[in-house]
Every structure is written in structure tokens, then in C-alpha cells.
Amino acid sequence: MKMKLYCSPTSPYARKVRVVARELGLADLIEEVMIDPHTASGNFLDTNPLSKVPTLVTDKGQVLPDSKLIVEYLQTRGRGLTSLPRGAARWGILRQQWLAEGLIDTAVGCQMEKRRPAALQSADMIERQLAAIRRTLDALESEAGGLLTTETVRTAEISVGVALGYLDLRQPQLQWRSRREGLAHWYLSFALRPSMQATQPPAT
Ligand SMILES: N[C@@H](CCC(=O)N[C@@H](CS)C(=O)NCC(=O)O)C(=O)O
């Protein structure tokens, strides 16, 4: 039985898992099922009562309802990612990964706010989130030299790459590349990886 990955074509959390699956050579073992978690019903809600994508059902029928959990699980099933060093360097790389994860959370938060009826949206809230995104991009830019462009990468690069791709999709007006040459240069080659190309979100 194949594993089943519930995802949506635009979710950055789902894309992260889909990229990891491909980098680990596990894509053939996983059936990707595209759903809209905002309108999902029936089977999916029984599978994940949180109604969020990504959700993985393993080949043993276990349900994993969160991208970080799924990435951890997939790493026990395949090889193809560079493992993290030990010691101080480990925390530097994880810091970059967590900044990127925060970037995704904040950009998705912005998107959720924009989904509300116009009269209920808070311009202050959106501006506060955009300011956090700009600051976080600046922090990632200052450490962009540490991002790998090697044949195999780490989960940190995948989180950073997916976060930047999501900004292209949802916040193009931010022009994140402007004055962030290090990140922009790194992303040019990262975005060409087959795992990234195969998971590009549709143009909206
Ligand atoms: N912490 C979760 C977040 C997943 C998440 O929020 N996914 C969004 C799509 S980008 C979703 O399913 N939203 C549906 C909803 O909140 O009802 C993860 O890392 O997987």
C-alpha cells in the first residue's frame, strides 16, 4: 500500500513535505491527494480533525498531521538529505530553518487575514506581519552564505527555498530579492532543483 499525502497545490507546508519526499527518493511510494482543507469534509476530517494539509497516512495506516512531523518520519524512510553537523554549527543551521518556518507561518497568517471579508480585515495586523517578514528576510540574507548549493541539501535549505517560493506566490509586491542579493543568488539555483520544479504552485 502506498502512503497517502493529503496536500494542496499552494500550501507551503505541503510543498516542504513534497520536496523532502522527492529529495529522499520516496516520491514513488507516496500518492499525493490534492484537497482544499478549507472546504474538506467526510473522509479527510475523520483522518485529520484539524483539517490541515499536509496530512500523511503511512503504509501502516498511521496518520501524521503536521509538516514537521511528516518530515521527521520521511527521514526515517529514505536517504538523500545532508545531515546536520554536531555542535555549535548545528544550532546556526537550525536557526536558519526556524526563521524560514516562521516566515512561512507569518506569510500564511497574512494570507488568512486577507481571506476574511474586507470589512473585518485589519490593515495594522497585515502591516505588522509584513514588517516581520521583511526583518526575517534581512536576517536570512545576512546568513545566506551558509546555505548549501550542493547536490544534496539539508531540511534548512528546503524550508528557506519553500518560504521564498511562497512569497513569490502570495507577496510578490514585497520584492524580496531587492537588496537581498545573497538570498536571490542562492534561490536562483535552488529553485531549479527537480524537487522544486515538480512542486511549483500554479500561478494564481
Ligand atoms: N503546523 C501545520 C500547519 C499546516 C497549515 O496550517 N496548513 C494550511 C494550508 S497552508 C491549512 O491546512 N489550513 C486549513 C485551515 O487552517 O483550516 C504544519 O506544519 O503542517
Average pLDDT over residues 178-186: 98
Residue 17 CA, closest ligand 1 atom number: 20
Question: Is residue 157 over pLDDT 80?
Answer: yes
Fold of 3-75: Glutaredoxin (3.40.30)
Question: What is the per-residue pLDDT across 88-102, written as a single tens digit (0 to 9) for each?
Answer: 999 999 999 999 999
Q: Which of 3-7, 72-76, 111-115 has the lowest mean pLDDT?
A: 111-115
**Enclosing H/E stretch for 110:** helix 88-115
88-194: which CATH number, 3.30.43.10, 3.40.50.1820, 3.60.20.10, 1.20.1050.10?
A: 1.20.1050.10
Q: Domain boundaries in the chain?
A: 3-75, 88-194
Q: Is the pTM of this model over 0.95?
A: yes
- Residue located nearest, by CA, to atom 17 of ligand 1: 38
Residue in 10, 11, 13, 169 to alter for ligand 1 test, most ligand atoms within 8 A of Cβ: 13
Contact present, 154 and 93 (Cβ < 8 Å): yes
